[in-house]
Structure 1
Amino acid sequence: MNRGIYPILSGALAHERRMQVFANNMANVNTAGFKQDEQTFKAVFPKVQLAIPAIPGTVSLANQIVAKPFGPTERVYAAPNTVKTTYDAGRIRLTGNPLDLAIQGRGFLEVKTPQGTRFTRNGMLSLDNQRRLVTNLGYPVMGTKGELKIPVGKMDISNQGEIRVDGNPIGTIKVMDFPDTNMPQKYAEGMFVSDKGFPAKAPQIQAGHIEDSNVNSIGEMVKMIEGMRGYESAQKLIQTLDRMAETAIQELGRVA
């Protein structure tokens, strides 16, 4: 088999991995607070064997003759590196539900889960049977002084996250921010995880609104088409090399 197939194969697998990420972005185009991802890759160079040993006399003359020459190899392989998340804000959409919250600018809601503290931009909230303010998955949303329990009455949420019921203050929604170099990482169920958070300065919250996903559906479709074409090109090139090897074997058989 032609060893040149392997670098091409690594490129085909890279395109496949990218399309998986794009497909996940497309599947969450209507998920509130979702942040799109981008798969990054790195180049892998095979190790190069020196033609001349570091200590003369330690390698036989035959091994020196068949050793690869000093210098860079001609083959480069693509390998997955990291998945980069884009934290740009999505479109703010009016819902009219007073329990829906959208954070303008930076910040995340802090949520208490069985696995520990998590963060989210999905502000589709509701009240559970204990009248706690919870996410769409039933996890309590934290205030500056703990869980937020909303008594019966007319509720208002200010732009700073202060909750009032019949004019009486109940608590303030906790909004956490993170350094640009230590943004939270995606965990599961639309949640993020990090231990580098700090209370956001002057957070801006819009009640009755939701932040949509920041996925550009048209852009993701274009990327998927490009990835599919790249995958098909790699596949055709592998088939061409395979046919070349087959033809060479057949011709060699005729000469022999």
Structure 2
Amino acid sequence: MARALLFTGGDCITLREEDSMSGGPEGLRAAGHALLYWQRRQEVNTHNLANAETAGFRARRVFAEMLEGGIPTVGTRTDTRVGELRQTGAPLDLALAGEGNFVVQTPNGEKLVRSGSFTLDPEGQIIDATGNPLLGTTGPLVVPPGPLEIDARGGVTVDGEQVGRLRIVGEAESAQPLRGEEALPGGRGLGEGDPVRAPGRGAGPDEIPDDLPDEMITVRQGYLEESNVSALDSLIEMTTIQRSFEAVQTSVRTLDSIMETVANRIGRVD
């Protein structure tokens, strides 16, 4: 009996014997979906491992599910578990204890940010490592010279005078279906890969979520959130993926051999 691995809900299952024997092409198609799944897991796991030391990075997790009509789909979701907070003492190192996201303005729209080592540009605008402005409730935050303090609710004060307030939004639904042209998120931290709202785009699954109420906000000034990726777990995952991929390849070779044998027998009967 030939066996091929398929996936459902992220787990492997075994094709029924009749799938492999009487529906050879279907068995190969199922094995092809499985290869795609494990390949995607390897890509995402490699990306996670590369960002194990990136402040604020949140791991991506691969999911697989059956759509209506038995069509399998593969996608990724953000692992929303909070990473450990590391104290730095820098006044513009910011993190969030609990849920929520900062928002930065990028050339492609607004992006969610869990943690970041921000700086001031020459105009006094608070920016991230790539020059994107950090947004307050009324737009980009610009502060005058002087001692800067940010309280737990996101209020920004300089020399004891409030000059702005951080915009803190909720968590986003960030399940992303797999497409052949889809690129993995960039590995520069600061919430890379989280949804953005491009100018002119209507409401949809990539819409920036609503602002959080004050009682749900806890900003930590002088802290950075570590990546929630475990390098050890990622290395173990790499071994699991490799073995599973090889098992599917073996199934493909077995199915191909069975189909060739059946074709030869049919040819002799004719």
2:113 aligned residue? 120
Structure 1 gaps, min length 5 = 47-75
Structure 2 gaps, min length 5 = 1-22, 177-183, 187-191, 197-206
Matches within 5 A, 1:1-256: 2-3=24-25, 4-43=27-66, 79-178=72-171, 183=173, 190=192, 191-193=194-196, 194-202=207-215, 203-244=217-258
Query: Runs (4+) of structure 1 moved beyond 6 Å?
Result: 247-256
Distance 2:137 2:144 in 1: 18
Relative to structure 1, the CA distance from residue 142 to residue 10 in structure 2 (aligned partners, 3 Å threshold; closer, same or farther) is closer
SS, match of residue 169 in structure 2: strand
Distance 1:173 1:192 in 2: 19
Distance 1:43 1:119 in 2: 29
Q: Which amino acid aligns with 2:63?
A: T
Q: What is the RMSD of the two structures over their aligned residues, measured on CA atoms?
A: 3.0
- Does the 8 Å contact 2:167/2:211 carry over to 1? no
Distance 2:235 2:164 in 1: 43
- Does the 8 Å contact 1:15/1:231 carry over to 2? yes
Deviation at 1:247, TM superposition (A): 6.2
SS, match of residue 56 in structure 2: coil
Deviation at 1:248, TM superposition (A): 6.7
TM-score with structure 1 setting the length: 0.74
Distance 2:96 2:121 in 1: 22
Relative to structure 1, the CA distance from residue 85 to residue 254 in structure 2 (aligned partners, 3 Å threshold; closer, same or farther) is same
TM-score with structure 2 setting the length: 0.71
Deviation at 1:113, TM superposition (A): 2.4
Q: Which amino acid aligns with 1:153?
A: G
Q: Which structure's CA Rg is the greater one?
A: 1
- Does the 8 Å contact 1:93/1:210 carry over to 2? yes
Q: How many residues align?
A: 223
Query: C-alpha offsets along residues 196-239 of structure 1, whole Å, 9 cap, x if unaligned?
Result: 31233231111111011111222222222111101101112222
1:71 aligned residue? none
